[in-house]
Homo-oligomer: A and B are copies of this chain.
Amino acid sequence: MAITVVGSVALDTIETPFGAANDVLGGAASHFTLAASLYDRVNLVAIIGNDFPDHFASYFHERNVDLRGLQIAIGQTFRWGGRYQLDMNTRETLFTELGVFADFHPVLPEEYRQAEIIFLANILPSLQLDVLRQAARQEGRTQLHALDTMNLWIETARDDLEQVIRGVDIVLMAEEEVRQFTGVPGLRTAARKILALGPQMLIVKQGSYGALLFSADGSFFAAPAYPLEDVCDPTGAGDAFAGGFLGYLANRLATSGALTANDYRRALIHGNIIGSYTCEAFSVERVRRLTPEEISARYREFVNFTHFEGVY
């Protein structure tokens, strides 16, 4: 069993009211990979420059990530800089230097195409479409194709985005992106519009408020977020959420050969768990040293703080 992810690997420079970090490991695919590899084997498709520090590559090696799809090009690795305000919910981009990422053309090695789960992290929708074409579905196997996106593509590449949404099983979007994409303020109606395009499931990421799951069969699940003591750096929490969610699904699929509605619900909790841990340190540092015992402990907390019983 395996998960293939296609997305960005970057070097981030982050300022918060409480600290800063320079040229740390970032990018959606990095956060996703270190989250999902807590649950299953991950194949990484991305591009880095020849300036990429060896010790960050070792983060992936430590987790036994397959790097045959990681392209190394002459030039600079994608760099991003951002600054958070006091409430840690609003951030401004200080700089974006695409470097070698500007010419990224993802190519999936043959084995990667066989992965049970393929995640199209937030990149240009036309590249996501290209990956979907490479990862053609095979008869008689459960394969999940999922995507994430961002406000920029909703504005500038809407047609391509709609086309790739039509081709996947699961869409992950932030709440404001769901409203932006559909033009509908009510999430329930907005979710129906997205599911009408073809996906079986829409996951709405609500940041510090948790996440929602809308299914094409009309069912709905809501999970609050884990209440953190302090937020150090929320960068990548949404990508780590996706890694926890899809990682858990891959793990269940390997164990039982099929997925139940309850598996998807528990997967959403795991997404919340890994997303919450991500915020506890800069970059991927907290998730990098996360243990199965810590995941279980937080899962038990979730069971406890969401549970109520009685018929009325």
Q: Point out residues on A near B: beta carbons under 8 Å.
A: 86-88, 179, 185-189, 206, 209-210, 212, 219-225, 227-231, 262, 265-266, 268-269, 296, 299, 305-312
Contact = CB atoms under 8 A, between A and B. Distances in A.
A188 B269 contact: no
Given A185-B86, A188-B227, A266 B310 contact: yes
B228 A308 contact: no
B227 A310 contact: no
21 contacts: A86-B185, A87-B185, A88-B185, A186-B230, A188-B227, A188-B228, A189-B230, A206-B209, A210-B222, A220-B227, A221-B306, A221-B308, A222-B227, A222-B306, A224-B224, A262-B308, A265-B308, A266-B308, A266-B310, A268-B308, A306-B306
A87 B189 CA distance: 14
Nearest to A227: B188
B209 A227 contact: no
B262 A309 contact: yes
Given A185-B88, A209-B206, A212-B227, A221 B305 contact: yes
Contacts of A268: 308
A206 B228 CA distance: 16
Contacts of A210: 209, 222, 224
Given A86-B185, A310-B262, A312-B296, A305 B227 contact: no
B229 A308 contact: no
Contact of A229 (B179, B186, B221, B269): B186
Contacts of A309: 262
Contacts of A312: 266, 296, 299
Contacts of A224: 210, 212, 222-224
Contacts of A219: 305
Given A308-B265, A312-B299, A209 B209 contact: yes
Contacts of A209: 206, 209-210
Contacts of A311: 299
A185 B17 CA distance: 12
A219 B305 CA distance: 8
A84 to B, nearest CB: 11
Contacts of A228: 186, 188
Contact of A187 (B220, B227, B308): B227
A241 to B, nearest CB: 16
Q: Which of A187, A209, A231, A262 has the most CB of B within 10 A?
A: A209
Contacts of A225: 222
Nearest 9 pairs between A and B by C-beta?
A222-B224, A265-B308, A209-B209, A220-B305, A188-B227, A188-B229, A266-B308, A186-B230, A266-B310
A302 to B, nearest CB: 9
Contacts of A220: 227, 305
Nearest to A264: B308
